[in-house]
């Protein structure tokens, strides 16, 4: 199996920065896409950013120019640098990874448990 462990969430003032990390471990053969979703109270879970194994990226419109996603393939880790944070960025952030394990010839999407990001205005 595969486990994702997030770190880096917390409380920050508006205009500040946070860096989230998510490390994947377990029976990993390869990782295709890695990324981040977020879910605010009473709202649906939305894609924030994603990055492919070749480092192609996509961002939610509202975070473009403020958030940067990157990954370290050697460490099976994805990062989300969040700058110029706004109160509306407050949410639980979930990382995910589309992984092919050593035990099966297909890919499966795994999720982290989530990390809280709170931006005070």
**Predicted confidence (pLDDT) at residue 7 exceeds the cutoff of 90:** yes
Query: Is the pLDDT confidence value at 105 over 90?
Result: no
pLDDT score recorded for residue 104: 86
The per-residue pLDDT for range 20-43, each reduced to its tens digit, is: 999 999 999 999 999 999 999 999
Q: Is the pLDDT of residue 59 over 90?
A: yes
Query: Of 106, 70, 116, 94, whose CA–CA distance to 4 is shortest?
Result: 94
By percentage, how much of the chain surpasses pLDDT 90?
96
Q: Are 81 and 67 in contact (CB under 8 A)?
A: yes
């Amino acid at each position: 199996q595969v486990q994702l462990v997030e770190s880096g969430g917390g409380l920050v003032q508006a205009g500040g920065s946070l860096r989230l990390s998510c490390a994947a471990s377990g029976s990993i053969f390869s990782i295709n896409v890695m990324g981040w979703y977020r879910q605010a109270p009473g709202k649906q879970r939305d894609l924030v950013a994603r990055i492919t194994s070749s480092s192609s990226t996509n961002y939610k419109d509202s975070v473009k120019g403020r958030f940067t996603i990157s990954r370290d393939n050697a460490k099976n880790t994805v990062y989300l640098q969040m700058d110029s944070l706004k109160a509306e960025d407050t949410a639980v952030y979930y990382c995910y990874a589309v992984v092919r394990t050593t035990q099966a010839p297909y890919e499966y999407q795994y999720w982290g448990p989530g990390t809280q990001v709170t931006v005070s205005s």
